[in-house]
Structure formats: structure tokens, C-alpha cells
Amino acid sequence: MTDIRRTLLWVVFSMSLVLIWDAWQKHNGHASMFGPNTRPVAAAGAASGGMPAASATAGVPAPAAVPGATAAAPAAVPAAAPPSGEQVTLTTDVVKATFDSLGGSLVRLELLAHHDPIDPTRNVVLLEQSPKRLYVAQTGLIAAQAGAALPNHLTAMSVVPGERTLTAGANELSLRFEATGPGGHKLAKIYTFKRGSYTVAVRHEFVNGGSTALSPQLYLQLARDGNPPEGESSFYFTFTGPAVYTDANKFHKVDFKDIAKGSASHDKSADNGWVAMVQHYFASAWLVPTTGLREFRTAKVAENHYTVAMVLPLGEVAPGATKALDATLFAGPQEEDKLAALAPGLDLVKDYGWLTVLSKPLFWLLTQLHGLLANWGWAIVALVVVLKIAFYWLNASAYRSMAKMKAVAPRVADLKERYKDKPQEMQQEMMRIYREEKVNPIGGCLPIFVQMPFFIALYWVLLSSVEMRNAPWILWITDLSAKDPWYILPTLMTLSSLFQVWLNPTPPDPVQAKMMWIMPLAFGFMFFFFPAGLVLYWLTNNILSIAQQWFINKQLGVLGK
């Protein structure tokens, strides 16, 4: 049992290297060892300067009819088309939004308070329709009746004149599009922006200009390519893709590869819920403030062109009558508290993985510490201190066990040499030594595994929190979400990890002893490319662990042995 702790650490180290290598392969477009390739190739239409080609009737496959709906579901949501309308730009205090009069779609959204990770002189562009990128918000009408033509996001719309910049003292800025379809049916879209907000109120007004009653459906759609955002690290993976939420099955991420295979698993209908597109730090989502029947659809429209849509029946509209529906489009940073206030479960677009139950209270505690210290870097340091205090006695037990192991290590090594040909007697003698010295061979391991979920959860908190973007700490650390420009923190972290190895008992196996020195170097190399906030957290944890272990080793008189 002497080497159980070392063996477990070796297993963790080996699995970490395998997972990191697999993430690197997937990030660079190669096949995963655990499944098919997850990074789509460039959009087919991008090279020619337009969006991927698709017929006007292609799009989201028709699901089964929604229970209780007044008419059968239509065949499909129309596909995207190359932009050809008038470009209209609105500017508020936090966003610069560009619309295309072809369909009245939002085709570009610049976040004025967030700098681009590659070029800090530019702002983050979340939505964009260009030869290189596709990420847009679209809406339109589809008819349950065969042959009925209604305005959709391929319909040319006229722009109503109005203010284009949020002026001083004003709290709202609106933009109105209007269109008349082939059958005389009219659709108006009114987008309303508010000061300081990343939500857009979107009102759709439909007028039945025909001679018979219609039962139109309104679709709220997000379309994008399957590529991860520019500037994403190759050393850690964050989810990019659609998500669907309902009260019944909660938050569900949908992989692009599952959509491409036609095997996407999510709720198809409900009387509540929303759809979203998620990426690291940012998200977009279509929300409807009221309950009511709706369908959820995902589709691969063309090569590297995916959509997620929410389809809502407007009910029967008599000739000459008007029907309106209000929706909300969110597009901005994943600020957890603000998202939670917008819609149930919307804060889950901030992806903590399987440790959400631990990550959420840790983030809450981190925000409380930030409120006291007014600096995210010092808040990280303070949070690690709080966790070390909470686990002090558990850590003390582990370090005391390791110190005792270090004290008896020379006797165990001598024992292995004398009884190398008699393994059974060697085990008996080792157990006798452990009993006499009151040493538990796995006593230093179990406390580590108890704490591991908390520190992994904190890792995901720091990796996922948009609050770390552009947040300074001290001196040369001006962005906790970016790597240390001078590599000082990862160097210190690696040195502290090596010092911890020196404090621990040396394994009797020479090969295993060498591996214990190689592990910190391997992990240290990866941390050279990690965000500074993550490295600061790990370095702080190492320093506090060293202080506690040094004190215990000194108490037991095993320093330097």
C-alpha cells in the first residue's frame, strides 16, 4: 500500500495528458479519440464572399405538430440568403447593431465595453455576417396553410426613418421595419434598445391582408457557423453551439455534430422555454416573456451553417385583423446575475459543466469578496484563502500522513532491499512499521480527493466568468482572462510545484521518483498558456499548501529528509 497515493497521482496525470491531447486534436480539426471530428470546415459560401448557398425552402426540418396547435406545422423555416438590402446601424452606450433590410435581420453586433482578445484596439463583434463568419438573428412568419406566402427573413423590408443613435438623456432607441408579402399580408418588426442593456425588445405585428383567415407561426431563429470563436485557447475546451431550455428538462446543449447527423436530442415542444447560441464568455438567446405553445428546432441548413429556432403559433387571424407578439433578444456577455433575472435557467448558458452545484456558490462567494476588495485578482486570492481555511484540518491530516511517510521512507527503502526476493515477508514487515509509527499509506491521498471537486469547480468558475475579461490585478497583469505576458506567474507556479515535490516523501522506485519531478514540469508548461486568473488561483493554492506542509514537516522533524 506504500505507493497507492503515487499510483493514483500518476493515473490522474496520465488521464490529464490524454484529455489535453484529445482537446488539442479536436481544436485543430482532427478526429477525436473518443468520437468523430467536432470542428466543421469553413463555410462553403464564405470563400465566395457570401453565406452558404441554400434554397429558399431549405431550413429546419418539420417536427411533429405541437399538441393543441390550431394547424399542422409547416414544412420548414426558410434558409438564409446573401445580404442584399440596406444596412442600418444603431448605436447605444453598450452596443453598435447593424440590421439588413432584407428580412430585417440583425447581422452584426459590436459590444462597445468588451475588447477583442486578439486585437485590444477593437471591440468584440459577437454577431457578424461576412465571408469569414456567420452568426445572425433572424425572424419571420411561416404559414400552416399550403400555398400561403408570408413575410420572412428573406423578404425585402422598408426602413422607417428615425433616430439612429441613443442621445444623451434618452433611455430608448427604436428601429421599425415594414413589409408586404405577395398575398397582401403585412409584417412590421420593431426593435427597441435600452440604455445599458444587452436585451432588445422585438415586437412583431402581422396584418392579414387576404380574404381568408390564416393561422401563421412566428419563428425566432439564431444561425451561425460551427467554428469556435477566434482567439480560443488550444489548451482548454469551452462549448460553442446551440442550447434549448424547458422547465421539464432544463438546460440542454446541442453539439453541431449531432445536428449534422440528424441525431440532436432536445425537447421538440413545450409551453415554455427558450433557445440560445453559446460560446465562451458570450451568448445570444430568444426569449418570450409569456407561456404558450412553442416548438424547438435545430437544423444543418448548408455546409457549416446551423440554426436553432423557436416557433410560436399566433393563432387564427381573420381577414383585415392584426395580431402582435412580443419577444426579447439577448446578445451579450454571460453576466450570471443579470441572465438569471431575464428568464428561468438563462444563467446556465455560463457553462460550469458537471460541477455547477459547487461552481455557483463559489462564484457567489467570489463576487462577495470582489465587492469588498474591488479587485478580481485579490478576490481570487481571498477565495483560495477561504477554501484553505475551510479545509485546514483535512489538509493537516493529509500533510501529517505524508510527513510520517517521509520519516519512515529510509526504513522502507532498506526493507525493500533486504526482502526484495521475499515479497510476502516484505509486505508483512512494512505493515509492522506502519503500525508502529501510526502511518496510514493512503492517509495523504483521501483528503486530496475530497477537496478536488471544489478546486475543479473553482477552476471552471474562473475559466467561465466574463468578469475576468480585461480585469487587472497588479502591475503587469492587466487582464486576468489572458495569459501572463511576461510568464512570471506560471514560472512561480511551476517552481512552487517542484518545491512541493521536495517536501513530499520520495518514492522508493527510481522511475516513479523521476516522474514525480516530471509532472510539475508538464503541468507547468500548460499553465504558460492558461489565463492569468487561473494561474494566480493555482499559485496561491500552492503557496498556502507549502506553508502548511512546511510547518507540519518542521513539527515532525522531517524537513530535508
Q: Reduce the secondary structure of 8-45 to three states and give it as a string.
A: HHHHHHHHHHHHHHHHHHHHCCCCECCECCCCCCCCCC
Q: Span 511-538, mean pLDDT?
A: 78
Higher-confidence residue of 458 and 67: namely 458
The cell for 291 is 407561456
Q: Span 111-134, mean pLDDT?
A: 92
Higher-confidence residue of 323 and 501: namely 323
What pLDDT, on the 0 to 100 scale, is given for residue 442? 55
Residue ranges of domains in the chain? 4-26+362-556, 48-63+84-231+238-351
State the residue for C-alpha cell 495569459. Answer: 483
Q: Span 128-137, mean pLDDT?
A: 94
What pLDDT, on the 0 to 100 scale, is given for residue 300? 94
For the ranges 233-242, 352-361, 417-426, the lowest mean pLDDT is seen at 417-426
Task: Tell me which residue of 106, 204, 206, 101 sits closest to 158, measured CA to CA.
Answer: 101
Q: Compute the chain's Rg from CA coordinates.
A: 29
What pLDDT digit, counting tens, does each position of 329-339 carry? 999 999 999 99
Indicate if the pLDDT at residue 104 is higher than 80. Answer: yes
Task: Tell me which residue of 17, 490, 534, 481 sits closest to 229, measured CA to CA.
Answer: 481
Indicate if the pLDDT at residue 7 is higher than 50. Answer: no
Let me know: does 92 contact 150? Beta carbons within 8 Å.
no
Mean pLDDT for all residues in the chain: 80
- Please, which residues have CB within 8 angstroms of residue 434's CB and are 6 or more apart in sequence? 408, 440, 441
| Per-residue DSSP letter, 353 | G
What pLDDT, on the 0 to 100 scale, is given for residue 42? 36
Higher-confidence residue of 327 and 211: namely 327
What pLDDT digit, counting tens, does each position of 148-207 carry? 789 999 999 999 999 999 999 999 999 999 999 878 899 999 999 999 999 999 999 999
Architecture field, domain 48-63+84-231+238-351: Distorted Sandwich (2.70)
For the ranges 37-51, 77-91, 308-322, the lowest mean pLDDT is seen at 37-51
The cell for 81 is 440568403
The model's pTM is 0.78
Q: Span 24-43, mean pLDDT?
A: 42
Q: Span 331-353, mean pLDDT?
A: 93
What pLDDT, on the 0 to 100 scale, is given for residue 525? 78
